[in-house]
Copies of this chain bind each other. A is one copy, B any other.
Amino acid sequence: MDIGNMASILQAFRDGHVSLEEALNKLRILPYENLEFAKLDHHRSLRQGFAEVVFCEGKTIDQVVTIIKRLGEHSDNLLATRASQEMFNAVHELIPDAQYHVLPKLIVIERKCLPRDEERFILVITAGTSDIPVAEEAAVTAEIMGNLVKRVFDVGVAGIHRLFDQRSLIEQANVVVVVAGMEGALASVVGGMVAKPVIAVPTSVGYGASFGGLAALLSMLNSCAAGVGVVNIDNGFGAGRLASIINHMR
């Protein structure tokens, strides 16, 4: 559409339907909707394969509702992250088919499931039970973007036989997302076990010198296993998105 749009503008200019100045101006414009407090990037699903995802934190309830309503008019599927229960309630009144995932605090609208390749699944692993909310953010994100996702929770390295018991599942995965707080050692161990991409998500689970996830973050960045890419602390969405992009590669 972008390139097509530029072409039609050029054509209109050659045909004399638009002036030089108009053409110059239009050529720089790509489609988005301006709500003043937000610029909705309707172009994104064309450019990146999925509609703009709404990051709700720091927005007012009114802003969230308005943005989701407008985006929902252009997209079958929609994702809003870090949404409070109050935000969902307000959205739900307007959009009855919106769903809320409590632990990961996600609002999901899924009217037309994207196709999934059952042969290639993403595996989301957590070190502990407390890491599940972040892991679910990753998993649900990847699912709505058209991926089969499997989950293995609570296989931290302190009882490493639990991890190794899942070895064949881990080795079959196409992409592995490792979610871990505290010292985040799971990423390195998994990274050494597989030949597939590993996306590491440090979580803020822990206390004291975990400094809100800093320990796990640094640990994962310094992983002695190659092939590990790291996202922000607690950023399950980013991990799910990146895993989905990789999983769709052919």
Of B7, B197, B220, which one neighbours A245 at CB under 8 angstroms?
B197
- Identical subunits present: 8
| Bound-state Cα–Cα, A195 to B159, Å | 12
Q: Are A230 and B233 in contact, with the CB atoms below 8 A?
A: no
- A219: which B residues are within 8 A, CB to CB? 183-185, 215-216, 218-219
A196 sits at the interface (CB 8 A): yes
A90 sits at the interface (CB 8 A): no
Shortest C-beta distance, A102 to chain B (Å), equals: 10
Of B7, B32, B155, which one neighbours A161 at CB under 8 angstroms?
B32
Give chain A's interface residues, CB within 8 Å of chain B: 3, 6-7, 10-11, 13-14, 20, 23-25, 27-30, 32, 36-39, 41, 43-44, 47-49, 52-53, 55, 57-59, 63, 67, 82, 127-132, 151, 153-162, 164-165, 167-168, 174, 182-185, 188-189, 191-197, 199, 202, 204-235, 237-238, 241-242, 245-246, 249-250
Nearest 6 A/B pairs, CB to CB: A229-B229, A208-B233, A58-B130, A185-B185, A215-B218, A30-B161
